[in-house]
């Protein structure tokens, strides 16, 4: 493995590790503040952290990437709106499920992305449908308990996975047309403002409670939003996108390990089998297919 490729792989693995542990931070944060308060504060922090990152990446690239201000604004607002829906569903849902379940169900977006791509003219092959079948089987073992009922938190996180899949497609559309880090910065501020409005309507935020949750909030804002996204941008530079996706999908594994080590949450054999099937589906969906002329 080339030295540059090795460094990129390490950055992407760190990205996955940060995002995986972020599920613990989100779960712990709910002990002090509401979901909209948590998302509001962490997204505003993430947006502020990315401002100096923009200057750093401009220097790293050697020049400022030319971008259309109108496209950047439209993209940032669109991605921010979808990100707000996804993160809100995830933050609310994580209150009613375990960190491990939330991590694996959220990772289902990697399977949903090619499925949704069908509606924009991108046909899915047999391998993708096999991945969907495995993922559905995994979800059944992981989430469905006696009586064919799915937990409230599991269902909300599943909707969150769908929203994140839409977010990935939106970013895929706008990122080639504008600067990715600036796009992310705008989306974080957009999400923070929308979360702030919902916070004032549905919750009663208190400064003392926010200060008590300073550690998980700072982790989610600075590391998960700011640092991890920057690592992803730099790590994917010149990296095979399939390999990059495989490495970053390890966030689901990290979330289970983090929930076990830090929170003492355990999964039954049935639930672990469901996790294994879902992770297999995630990996299978990202493997490169046969090249066609």
Q: pLDDT (tens digit, 0 to 9) for every residue of the chain, 293 residues total?
A: 455 567 777 888 888 888 888 877 877 888 899 999 999 999 999 999 888 888 877 776 655 556 668 888 998 999 999 999 999 998 888 888 877 677 778 777 777 777 777 776 666 677 777 877 887 787 777 666 555 567 888 899 889 989 988 887 887 788 778 887 888 899 999 999 999 999 999 998 889 999 999 999 999 999 988 888 777 767 766 665 556 666 777 777 777 777 777 767 676 788 788 878 877 876 776 666 554 43
114: three-class secondary structure by DSSP: helix
Q: Which of 108, 100, 82, 81 has its CA nearest to residue 27?
A: 100
The Cα-based distances of 222 to 46, 81, 179, 216 in angstroms read 6, 20, 20, 10
Query: 30 φ, ψ to 5°?
Result: -70, -15
Rounded Cα–Cα distance for residues 108 and 135 (Å): 7
DSSP state of 227: I
| 74-131 pLDDT per residue, tens | 989 999 999 999 999 988 888 888 776 777 787 777 777 777 777 766 666 777 778 7
pTM: 0.78
């Amino acid at each position: 493995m080339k030295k540059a490729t090795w460094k990129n792989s390490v950055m992407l693995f760190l990205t996955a590790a940060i995002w995986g542990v972020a599920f613990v931070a989100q779960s712990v944060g709910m002990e002090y503040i509401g979901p909209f308060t948590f998302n509001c504060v962490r997204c505003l922090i993430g947006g502020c952290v990315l401002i100096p990152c923009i200057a750093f990446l401009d220097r790293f690239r050697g020049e400022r990437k030319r971008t259309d201000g109108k496209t950047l604004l439209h993209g940032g607002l669109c991605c921010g709106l979808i990100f707000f829906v996804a993160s809100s569903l995830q933050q609310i849902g994580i209150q009613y499920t375990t960190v491990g379940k939330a991590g694996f169900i959220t990772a289902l977006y990697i399977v949903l992305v090619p499925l949704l791509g069908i509606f924009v003219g991108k046909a899915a092959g047999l391998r993708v449908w096999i991945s969907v079948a495995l993922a559905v089987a995994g979800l059944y073992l992981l989430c469905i308990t006696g009586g064919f009922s799915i937990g409230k938190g599991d269902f909300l996180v599943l909707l969150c996975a769908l929203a994140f899949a839409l977010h990935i497609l939106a970013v895929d559309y706008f990122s080639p047309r504008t600067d990715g880090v600036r796009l992310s910065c705008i989306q974080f501020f957009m999400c923070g403002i929308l979360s702030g409005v919902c916070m004032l309507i549905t919750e009663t935020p208190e400064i003392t409670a926010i200060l008590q949750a300073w550690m998980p909030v700072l982790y989610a804002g600075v590391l998960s939003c700011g640092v991890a996204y920057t690592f992803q941008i730099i790590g994917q530079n010149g990296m095979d996108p399939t390999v990059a996706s495989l490495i970053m999908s390890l966030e689901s594994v990290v979330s289970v390990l983090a929930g076990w080590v830090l929170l003492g949450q355990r999964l039954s054999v049935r639930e672990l089998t469901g996790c294994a099937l879902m992770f297999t589906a995630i990996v299978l969906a990202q493997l490169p297919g046969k090249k066609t002329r």
